[in-house]
Structure 1
Amino acid sequence: MTTWVLIKSDREPVFTQQEFSHQFFDRYSRQRFIKVQGCCLLLLLVLLLSNNANAQRSTEDKAVSELFQSFTQKNNNANVLGALLAGEVDASTPFNNFYTEQHLNHYRKLQQSYLTQAKAFQKKHLSLQSQVNLDVFIEQRKNTLTEIDRPAYELAVWQSNDYLSGLFFISSGYGRLSFDKIKDYEQWFERLQQLPELIIQLKVSFQKDLDKDVIAPAALVKHLAGILNSNAPQSIENSVFYQPVTNMPSYFTANQKQYVIMRYSKVIKQSVYPAIDQLKDLLINQYLPKSQGIKSVTSSDQGKGWYSNRLATYIGDSIEPDELHQAAHSNIKQIKQGLLEIQKQSGKQGTLSEFIQHMNDTAYFFQHAETLMKNYRQAMHQINKRTPSLFSDFPKATYQLASIDEINAAKSPALYYQLKSVEELMIGTLNINSARRLLHPKWQVKAHLLKYGAPGYHFLHAMHSELNDLPVFRDSANTRAFELGWGLYTASLGDELKVYSSWKDRLGWLLMDLKATLLLAVDTGIHLKGWSVNDANDYLMQHGFFTEQQASSITHKIMLRPGLWSAEKAGFIMVMHLKQQAIKQLGASFNPKHFHQQLLQNGRLPIAVVEKNVTQWIGNAAKGAVATKNVENTE
């Protein structure tokens, strides 16, 4: 064997190759062992800390869940009608007289107590799902307290509209209560005896409004009187209160049926109807005469406070109502400019109004229901192929189209989405009213699918259904602005998805956007700027190409539900604001798939919670993008 030597200096020992190798590798092995040992200790420390964090997170998640459960039980007891409508309590639970001052004080203390407890949790110790649930819970408690502390509960019309509708619905037997046994009828009979007291309390609220000269417009009063007349007609057998009697099970004996008929008839005639008559008398003879000259609920200071609260409940409070009104005005101008560009592309001469009228000619509608459905299915397949270009997460639920049968067509809208479980499988169905073909212009098929189907309502509702162990209160959260805004936003993606292949498709999107924007402008115009009915009608006819009859119908709906009709466009504005913010802060690293993932991953949420979560994600993502860029520059 050849031997070589390494000489470093005269004083250093000389090693053979073999001796050197042994000593070198022994030293290297020791160093490596020390490093490995250090890494193992570090890993063990990380695991221990992680386990402690997970244990703490599990404990905190459990505590939050227990808080939710405790609140739900107490809230159900404090708002029995709401709990009955949600199916959370049975028919034996007594009603509470919700609008007495004593009960409202109790309800206020309940909400404040649980809001304080919720705020005490440190979110860093919670799982992401628990953090979101806690945010929704806090938002709900804040909104409820605001409603109680502001004049919301002082407006008798608003109290009565929702409260009476709930009472009438649950009394009809069509809710979640069962009427299968005599015991069921006896339990509900006990509740029926309480109705007069609740109705008289509403009369007291109306009298308070009259005394303070807080008057709602005549349209709301007439609407409420209509609800009373339709649900309690002259013949009690045709009233909602008698419906459980009319629909008694056939297997009841003759004696049982007679027993139910006598008891229900007596209490309806002698107690329920007289109370309703007292309320109607006050409405028609005292309240209505004073309401004739009132433009809107915001004609009084109390009404203005109430409307601001309603609007904040739907759309959050990060955007001022005045800003929304001005944004609607500006957006209408932009949309109409876009429509003029489309008219130019079409080659059609004349005014914009004449162009829109031309596009509503029968030639632009389907002649047969079969052709309509075929066109929808072809467009659906085209959209489905392009959706992965902007989305990375997809719901597990099956998505399909279905035609509404002719029996239900007359009372059904153009389209509606429905998610239901069939043999343990979730199926999302976009129901299309193919029998009413004039609701489906050819140029709006793709915009309809993007909004009402996938990736619009289907993605949001189906992915919400896949979230595990959601607390009960999440079902009652006011998510209207995000839901509708998300649908309008997905309809705006037609160009990005490359499915709007012609000016006709873009016309469908722009007219959809214009209608939502007009609803926002008119809602805030009436209830914020003091527009009259004629002002609103003229605005709709001028900017929305509506007939006088159509404009009048839209204005009437907006008058009846202040704030409600602003939600869709306001939600869209918020989603677009968040997208622009993400593009600005993330720059080249912005990925629409990640943005959409953030919007959808927590399901249906109040728009204020959506804004908070996505803004936080943008901030964290921006820091990550800057850190990555700095590393690249260093290299």
Structure 2
Amino acid sequence: MNKLILLCTAVILFSCKNENTEKEESSQTNFSTLLKEYNEEGYELDPMMATNAGDSRFNTKFPNVLSEEYKAKKKAYYTKYKTVLTQIDTSHLTETEKMSKAVLLWDCNINLEAMTFNTDLMPLDQMWSINLYFNQYAGGTNAQPFKTVQDYKDWLVRVDAYLIWLNSAKKMMKKGMETGYVLPKSLIVKVIPQFEALAELPVEEHLYYAPIKNIPDNFTKEEIKELTEAYRSMVETKIIPAHKEMVTFLNGDYLSSGRMSSGITDTPLGSEYYAHQVKKYTTTNMAADEIHELGLKEVSRIRSEMEAVKEEVGFKGDLKAFFMHVRTNKDLMPFTERSQVIAFYDSIHQVMKPQIDKLFGNQPTTAFEVRRTEPFREKSAAANYNPGSIDGSRPGIFYTPIPEVEKYNIYDKEDLFLHEAIPGHHFQISLAQENDELPDFRKTLWYSAYGEGWALYTESMGKELGLYKDPYQYFGMLSGEMHRAVRLVVDTGLHAKGWTREQAIAYSLDNEAESEASITSEIERYMANPGQALSYKIGQLKIRELRAKSEELLGEKFDIREFHNQVLETGCIPLQLLEQKIDTWLMAGK
């Protein structure tokens, strides 16, 4: 009898175990399917994201994001997945899946919140708007492929779709003029030249004609003739006229309606929108006043370090005079050819290579290049990183504007390379794309507080990487950090404390080594996208805090390579989730 009972009990337990295992596997399968569906539908909403990821299925698509139809579809998308996520039991999910659920829920919430604000009535600006983003693909050197005849034809279709958006943008701006949703005049005058540059002949020198100059050798004569005629017609009859119309509109009615104020709270969007932007870009619940005070403290701290460098190099004069000295020192402007600038960055990389292995256990395999920023945008563009494709076929690219090579100052360029290239954006983005454990949507997700916070954190690693041996280069790092600390003050000043553009410029000039022209461009950047500038310093300070906590708690067991692995393996996530992850790792380590 006892043996029979034991046997029955074993059978029941085995059956229950199998049932639980099956439930767990089913739960994981269903969740994995959900994430794939989210990503697939996301590609349909944002086909450029698919192109960037190396997925060619949507290369002709460019939705009119300003249309009511599109906005309804977008709202339904985020609402559907938010509802489903709240019903998912996490007990059978892996740690990576639990993180994916938390990240996706945060993403749905912040996007739905963003849709409650009528930002579509101001669809253009001098730095962030869709036209500038789209134009980067037109020359044939970005993610949009130009390798086959079909690739060339796909772009023609996508251009037609883009022009529909451009026409809608003008209609929205006209409506915005009537309701108080309008850009400051100081930004409008920066937008106009960007359209003028694409409203001019000759066709052969036009950005949108550039792919024809690089037609692959394997195309037939007939194919080359057909495509050449099609691209010439596209530029002459579509692109140039559309941009001429926009130039006329911007120079006329729109400029005359432009506002003199600087902050976003002077539009109907109001303080509620700025609070949303702060949350979006810092991924925290910090208030604008709290961030402003933090910025003032950081500016004071960094100024004291700058004073020390000034004394080290023996400069006589105050810090503001030293800023001018650094800006105008011809010894820090050694180049006569643009190729020398590219070679300079390559030399920085070579110096770092022996130290990288000591600091990073996981390193990306995605190739990397340094290129000059395209001439059409380099006068108003900052240096930036363009991610490689997920399949590795396209390298990560660090773009640096070189409008006047003789004035290219190198005092802060070691610092810049760390941020925009290695181990900043290139490591962080490429490692996420190469991580097979991450679902596809997390390989292309971007949270500024994490991404820019990581990049700013890497700037402080210069000495560990064999750089900053020249005190001017170390001063460049301090200048970079000061630049981000100043952002905390001036961004909140502009959008929460009633500062004018001129006040913000003056404060920056008092505390930064940048030129007035550069600072003016930066202030106008913050005016165009409230809150984005806060992400860098907030993210950096959080990662520094987590490293210090890890060093203290783990003591001799602390491994800097493993810490960096822990931070980077998740891809971009909100800072609150990153902190929870590191705390869990620390408890396991103890």
Displacement of 1:300: 1.0
Indicate how the Cα distance of structure 1 residues 269 and 138 shifts in structure 2: closer, same or farther if over 3 A, else same.
same
Give the Cα–Cα distance (whole angstroms) in 2 for the partners of residues 179 and 498 of structure 1.
Answer: 40
Q: Secondary structure at the match of 1:395?
A: coil
- Correspondence for 2:435: 467
- For structure 2, the residue ranges without an aligned partner over 5 or more in a row are 1-5
C-alpha deviations, 1:314-338, integer Å up to 9, x for none? Answer: 3213222332222111110111123
In structure 2, how many angstroms separate the alpha carbons of the residues matched to 1:397 and 1:270?
Answer: 44
Quick one: which amino acid aligns to residue 604 of structure 1?
Answer: G
SS of structure 1 residue aligned to 2:115: helix
Equivalent residues of 1:91, 1:191 under 8 A apart: no
Q: What 5-or-longer segments of structure 1 have no aligned partner?
A: 1-37, 626-635
What corresponds to 1:516 in structure 2? 484
Give RMSD over aligned pairs: 5.1
Number of equivalences: 572
Partner of 1:114 in structure 2?
Answer: 81
Tell me which residue corresponds to 2:580.
615
Q: Could you list the per-position Cα deviations for residues 217-252 of structure 1 after superposition, in whole angstroms to 9, with x for gaps in the alignment?
A: 123323333332222325555444444555555665
SS of match in other structure, 2:249: helix
Preserved contact between residue 84 and residue 170 of structure 1 (Cα < 8 Å): no
Instruction: Return the match for 2:199 from 213, 229, 232.
Output: 232
Single out whichever of 225-234 and 323-332 deviates more from structure 2: 225-234
SS at match of 1:478: coil
TM-score scaled by structure 2? Answer: 0.76
- Aligned counterpart, 1:213: 180
Counterpart for residue 134 of structure 1: 101
Distance 1:270 1:119 in 2: 51
- Does the Cα contact within 8 Å between 2:345 and 2:417 map onto a contact in 1? no
Tell me which moved more, 478-487 or 574-583: 574-583
Where does residue 5 of structure 1 map in the other structure?
none
- Asked if 2 retains the 8 angstrom alpha-carbon contact of 1:151 and 1:305, the reply is no
Q: Which amino acid aligns with 2:456?
A: L
* Residue 62 of structure 1 pairs with residue 29 of structure 2: yes
Residue 269 of structure 2 aligns to a residue whose secondary structure is helix
Shift of 1:204: 1.9
Shift of 1:304: 4.5
The answer as to whether partners of 2:125 and 2:528 remain within 8 angstroms in 1 is no
Q: Which amino acid aligns with 2:523?
A: T
Cα distance, 1:255–1:459 mapped onto 2, change above 3 Å = closer
Q: Distance in 1 between matches of 2:395 and 2:165?
A: 41
Q: Note if contact 1:478-1:605 (Cα within 8 Å) is conserved in structure 2.
A: yes
Task: Choose the corresponding residue for 2:539, options 533, 558, 571.
Answer: 571
Question: Identity of counterpart residues, as a percentage?
Answer: 18
More contact order relative to length (CA 8 Å, sep ≥ 6):
2
Distance 1:340 1:97, change over 3 A: closer
Aligned mates of 2:394, 2:151 — CA distance in 1: 32
Q: Distance in 1 between matches of 2:493 and 2:21?
A: 52
Matched, 1:489 2:457: yes
Question: Which letter does structure 1 place at the counterpart of 2:318?
Answer: T
Are residue 476 (structure 1) and residue 441 (structure 2) matched?
no
TM-score (norm 1): 0.72
Listed one character per residue, the Cα deviations across residues 233-285 of structure 1 (whole Å, up to 9, x for unaligned) are 25555444444555555665665555555555556655555554444433322
Match of 1:30 in 2: none
Q: Deviations over 1:330-360 (max 9, x none)?
A: 1101111233345556665542334555667
Label 1:595 to 1:520 Cα distance change in 2 as closer, same or farther (>3 A). farther
Q: Decide whether aligned partners of structure 1 residues 339 and 259 sit closer, same or farther in structure 2, where only a CA change above 3 A counts.
A: closer
Q: Is 1:157 aligned with 2:150? A: no
Q: Distance in 1 between matches of 2:166 and 2:397?
A: 40
Q: Which residue identity does 1:78 align to in structure 2?
A: L
Name 1:555's counterpart in structure 2.
Answer: 523
Counterpart-to-counterpart distance in 2, 1:424 and 1:267 = 31
- Distance (whole Å) between structure 1 residues aligned to residue 82 and residue 18 of structure 2: 30
Q: Partners of 1:398 and 1:266 in 2: how far apart?
A: 41
Paired residue for 1:320, among 287, 296, 317? 287
Distance 1:132 1:178, change over 3 A: same
SS in 2 for 1:149: coil
- Cα distance in 1 for residues equivalent to 2:217 and 2:191: 35
Q: Alpha carbons of 1:589 and 1:279: their partners in 2 closer, same or farther (altered >3 Å)?
A: same
Q: Which residue of 1 aligns with 2:92?
A: 125
1:34-81: CA deviations, max 9, x gaps?
xxxx9xxx9999999987766544433322221122223323333445
Aligned residue type for 2:447? T
1:132 and 1:46, CA in 2 relative to 1: closer, same or farther beyond 3 A? Answer: farther
* Matched residue, 2:3: none
User: 1:600–1:57: structure 2 CA closer, same or farther, 3 Å change rule?
Assistant: farther
Q: CA deviation at 1:101?
A: 1.6
Contact 1:219 1:559 in 2 (8 A): no
Give CA deviations for 1:598-620 in whole Å, capped at 9, x if unaligned.
742524313x2x43242354268
